[in-house]
Chain A
């Protein structure tokens, strides 16, 4: 997808002909919105949803005064972004709790959406909150699905109720009874993946629902889903009245436009996101981040937020000053590495940078074990050497190599890298991109 110009580039092009500032005219909006629509479609937002969205936004945009601080492109993106965020709803969707325990949570979705894995994640999340969840295995169709749930349950230390390949409706019912009897406060019912057009299996879900009256019915949707997301969400919602949505596999490089589609068509909140294969990889949903992701502007917000918590304000100020004075030293380099680590590793940080997902991390991939090596090298330098690497001659290099258990080549490589970083910072400073 790298061949596509970004939305802001395209909009810049449209507005480049616009010489005088003022209000956005209907014609400009129309041209700009065509590009917004393409951006949404490229992000997998459903065609109809995209059209509706564009209509609403256009109405709001026409005649709006361009804020002094913004150019027309930024103004349009701002309006679009705000509308997207509004449409995707709140970030704080909590799980409902039944007035009388147990709270019953029923999972549903297409095959391969990630229901079973998410059941495990949810169980772990609930356990951390001091709850006692019971997992109920109602996927009696997929080979070894029950075994998978049992393994997942064991990993998080949650009991799994299963009755082999029996009748899923009965298993669900007995599972809830089991929970009542043995004091489980939450029941998570894993169901088989099914196509929304599979009449028999959809009816089975309705039967399960009727039998166990769940407090939550969560529709699990793969974030990579295409145009079809609308039909899937609509059918599941119409037949089951789902209470919330779960987005999985958000740790990939999908733009995730399906989110907007399923949100628009069901009106139900996105309650959680799956962000990795480990059972702890579950996050709340942030509509603002999702909006910039769909528009292809990267998850800049997350990055900034993470950076803020990793580097203290004081450190940041110092760093900024040093960058201004171009006095960035190896000592600062060390601080930076530690901060990066706190931010969840370099790969995480890179993956959130706009465009980094597209350019594929292979190019920018940094081996984290190499970072340890780098830190060892810097720690083996004298303070004077750290401040002024130019004095590091051959004999100093030999000493540092011995001290850090590395080779002179390693040290040369590091010094070269450091020089490059310095250069890069110089450029970033000029671009005003770097705002720690």
Chain B
């Protein structure tokens, strides 16, 4: 299976609907105001934010009119270009060891599963990896992470349920420093970004890593569920404000959801997408490629 074949397969459902809608649109309409209004709606119905959809359509329209273009094929290429530009607006993430990856996000987006897959991915690339079970809140979260740890063959640092997550982080950092582990991945409890006390808890973990392990490259990654709607924007904005974000991991792309909000996110909040989750198996994760993503939408 090629590098992106799985992503393509996953995106087939996405592309079916977006591509089908576009084909339908192009067959129905002349290039006019109504055409562009409909185009905007098609983007919105892929969970692209209204603001971004307006921007993109406005840009395409201006260019098409400026170049006196009446060719629909050309308009599609303009659209592709615009989407690609949005998706690559933020600098792509490059992970350098020694690294600490803190994985954050709201409840139920797939953080723990993603960490299992990431650990496996890094192990396959010959890095040494440890994961820290800093979700001490959700019932059985550390057991879940342990199962994934076993599957990936990595060490799991954990405390009892209800323990201070920062203490878990502290222990994990001490351990990876002593063992000179390449990558530490921290699993955090799901938290809604509007809960100030939970965000404080996260900031504390952030401080512990910065204080105890300043020599490491510290990356904060947010996991977003592809089936989420416009709220993804609020999520990223809030986590970015509170702890800073270096990248987005988009999960559950094997469903029919489009995850179109990443187009708005990369553009408006300048956080790059770095990985995508495409299933429940340990190998169902891929490095994000904007070009593939956009092409996949249109093929």
Contact = CB atoms under 8 A, between A and B. Distances in A.
Interface stretch (A23-31, A84-92, A177-185, A355-363): A355-363
A151 B147 contact: no
Find the residue from A147, A149, A152 having the highest chain B CB count within 10 A: A147
A249 B225 CA distance: 14
A47 B144 contact: no
A249 B140 CA distance: 20
Contacts of A226: 47, 227-230, 232, 257, 261
Contacts of A394: none
Interface string B134-171: 00011111011011100000000000010000000000
A47 B44 contact: yes
Interface stretch (A106-114, A168-176, A283-291, A408-416): A106-114
Interface stretch (B102-110, B117-125, B207-215, B284-292): B102-110
Given A227-B46, A228-B256, A258-B229, A147 B143 contact: yes
A226 B14 CA distance: 14
B50 A42 contact: yes
Given A222-B227, A227-B258, A351-B194, A277 B137 contact: yes
B234 interface: yes
B230 to A, nearest CB: 6
Contacts of A253: 192-194, 231, 234
A360 B194 contact: yes
Contacts of A336: none
B13 A197 contact: yes
10 contacts: A4-B51, A110-B252, A111-B252, A144-B140, A144-B146, A195-B255, A224-B231, A225-B229, A232-B227, A252-B192
Contacts of A42: 49-50, 230
Contact of A252 (B110, B143, B231, B241): B231
Given A357-B194, A362-B196, A151 B161 contact: yes
B41 A1 contact: no
B118 to A, nearest CB: 15
Find the residue from A150, A255, A258, A360 having the highest chain B CB count within 10 A: A360
A364 to B, nearest CB: 10
B263 to A, nearest CB: 13
Contacts of A44: 47, 229-231
Q: Which 5 A-B pairs have the closest CB atoms?
A: A226-B229, A112-B108, A44-B229, A151-B139, A143-B147
Interface in B204-260: 225, 227-234, 237-238, 241-242, 252, 254-258
B51 A143 contact: no
Interface residues of B, number: 52
Contact of A114 (B49, B50, B107, B195): B107
B111 to A, nearest CB: 9
Interface residues of A, number: 57
Contacts of A428: none
Contacts of B88: none
Given A112-B110, A143-B148, A151-B140, A228 B255 contact: yes
B59 interface: no
A191 interface: no
Contacts of B46: 227
A14 to B, nearest CB: 17
A365 B196 contact: yes
A232 B252 CA distance: 13
A148 B45 contact: no
Contact of B107 (A155, A255, A277): A277
Interface in A311-337: none
A254 interface: yes
Given A143-B144, A197-B256, A43 B230 contact: yes
B45 A195 contact: no
A50 to B, nearest CB: 9
A249 B192 contact: yes
Given A227-B45, A228-B256, A361-B196, A254 B231 contact: yes
B294 to A, nearest CB: 19
A424 interface: no
Interface string A12-54: 0000000000000000000000000010011110110000000
Interface string B75-107: 000000000000000000000000000000011
A274 B255 CA distance: 24
